[in-house]
Amino acid sequence: MYDSHTIVAQATPFGRGSVSIIRLSGEKALLIAQSLASDSMVLRDRVVVLSSVFIDSKKKIDEALFTYFRNPNSYTGEDIVEISCHGNPVIVDSIIKRACFLGAKIAEPGEFTKRAFLNGKLDLIQAEAVGDLINSRSEEAALHQNKNLSGSVSSTVLKIQKDLLSILSSLEFEFDVSELDTHLPENVNNYLKVLKNSCLKVRSILNSYSMGLAYTQGLRIALVGKPNVGKSTLMNCLLGENRSITSSVSGTTRDTITSEITLSGVPVLLIDTAGITNTDNPIEKEGVLRASKEIERADIIISMSSPKIKKIETKHSKKTIHVYNKTDSIKAGLVKKPSYFYISALKNQGVDLLLERLKLLVTENNFSTDSTINNLRQKDALEKSLSSLTSALNILKNNKPELELVAFEIKDSMNFLSVFLGKVNSEDVLNGVFSNFCVGK
């Protein structure tokens, strides 16, 4: 159930761009679009029309392209009109306000997708992928999401389900049709094979999870070290080096600076922290505390040292890159450790090598599977499914396996895969039994 009112929102990201798209969806979409445009405009299904846009009866604010998608053949399954106007926030704002005056309501986040879902236009996994698509910034991430949208995760999971269904059917045949009380070892071997294989596949999708997360929220890279080691200088250097700076926000505290950059298409948050000291000064103390928190939250840590300033000792198991800064200030006789990067942040020497290493690290999590998943619910379902599969395997390895428990675990695992896909099925098992077997007696 949802309110049937017509909704409006900007469909392209906020901020200036060359074009902004405003989307209207609902029963009144057509009517509202008509009222926005000049009287002579005629909208036809899937035909692009150029018209002036008025924000009151006389005041023309822009020229825009109008496209009408008749229900149910639209993204939401309702009537949709898309207005492509100039990407000026003032124009966009005025048009949306005018649409609201004419009877539309501002869409809630995700409301278009929700309507699409309720109208049977998307399955759950597609709906979620769209949500992530809207949020993801970089082009590469968008590519990745599109794969998801076209259902490659779904199809991998469906394949696993199909394999599991076939052995479940064989088990159910044993319980419900075959009256012979014999364990067939070749059956058990086949069960083992399929289960092992399914475990591998689920695990591999799970592994890709951290990658999926990276695409939508960004990996966190923290620069840490003692005061004056050159953290801020390196940060500036990295930001300068990389031209795809998207925003520069000062941290919530006066001493933690966060900037977003893109490395190999992966959005990354660079975090400059306060130098860590033993101090009694309460403000500095607070900064140190924040820095330690950042170390905890980070995915990758750049731990810095320089002549006369030692690196800090921390107890964490994060991926750490050791950087020795200010090499320009040493005349000679530096003994280099193999795993360290030696740079001069000030003179921009050696920083390119460091950058290469970072790029490698952020994409390294991309395991063999082409599937990526993007949210906790799905990860959770996969983990549970895997755990049931593992239990099934363990029971089967027993001397006299209780087949009904194996069946229980497989069913459980399949249920979680269904949760993952946002679907349920029930008669499938029996259908499987009867399409695959002769019923003997």
Positions that interact with ligand GTP (CB under 6 A): 225, 227-233, 274-275, 325-326, 328-329, 344-346
Q: Which residue has the tokens 């017509």?
A: 6
Helices assigned H by DSSP within 180-221: 185-217
Contacts of 397 (CB under 8 A, 6+ apart): 192
Comparing CA positions, the residue from 6, 16, 4 lying closest to residue 81 is 6
Contact of residue 427 among Mg ion, ligand GTP, another protein, none (CB under 5-8 Å per partner type): another protein
Pick the closer one to another protein by CB: 8 or 410.
410
The residue with its CB nearest to ligand GTP is: 275
Q: Could you give the CA distance from residue 437 to residue 160 in angstroms, rounded to a whole number? A: 21
CB 232 to Mg ion: min, Å:
3
Q: Which of residues 106-165 bind Mg ion (CB under 5 A)?
A: none
CB 337 to ligand GTP: min, Å:
18
In the chain, the amino acid numbered 346 is L
Q: 3-class DSSP state for residue 324?
A: strand
Mapped to the 3 state alphabet, what secondary structure does 337-350 carry? CCCCEECECCCCEC
In which order are the strands placed within the sheet that holds 19-25? 48-54, 60-69, 80-86, 19-25, 7-10, 105-106
Contact of residue 233 among another protein, Mg ion, ligand GTP, none (CB under 5-8 Å per partner type): ligand GTP
Q: Could you give the CA distance from residue 318 to residue 300 in angstroms, rounded to a whole number? A: 6
Contact of residue 227 among Mg ion, another protein, ligand GTP, none (CB under 5-8 Å per partner type): ligand GTP
Contact of residue 241 among Mg ion, ligand GTP, another protein, none (CB under 5-8 Å per partner type): none
Pick the closer one to ligand GTP by CB: 176 or 328.
328
Give the interface with another protein as residue ranges (CB under 8 A). Answer: 1-2, 4, 117-120, 124, 172, 174-177, 179, 181-183, 398-400, 402-405, 408, 412, 422-424, 426-427, 429-430, 433-434, 437-441
Pick the closer one to ligand GTP by CB: 121 or 231.
231
Q: Which of residues 204-233 bind Mg ion (CB under 5 A)?
A: 231-232
In the chain, the amino acid numbered 184 is L
Pick the closer one to ligand GTP by CB: 154 or 344.
344
Pick the closer one to ligand GTP by CB: 275 or 432.
275
Q: Tell me how far CA of residue 179 lies from CA of 183, 186, 407, 428, 439, in angstroms.
A: 12, 18, 18, 22, 10
DSSP code for 18? S
Q: Which of residues 230-289 bind Mg ion (CB under 5 A)?
A: 231-232
**Could you give phi then psi for residue 112, rounded to 5 degrees?**
-60, -45
In the chain the first and final C-alpha atoms are separated, in Å, by 49
Pick the closer one to ligand GTP by CB: 64 or 257.
257
Contacts to Mg ion by CB under 5 A: 231-232
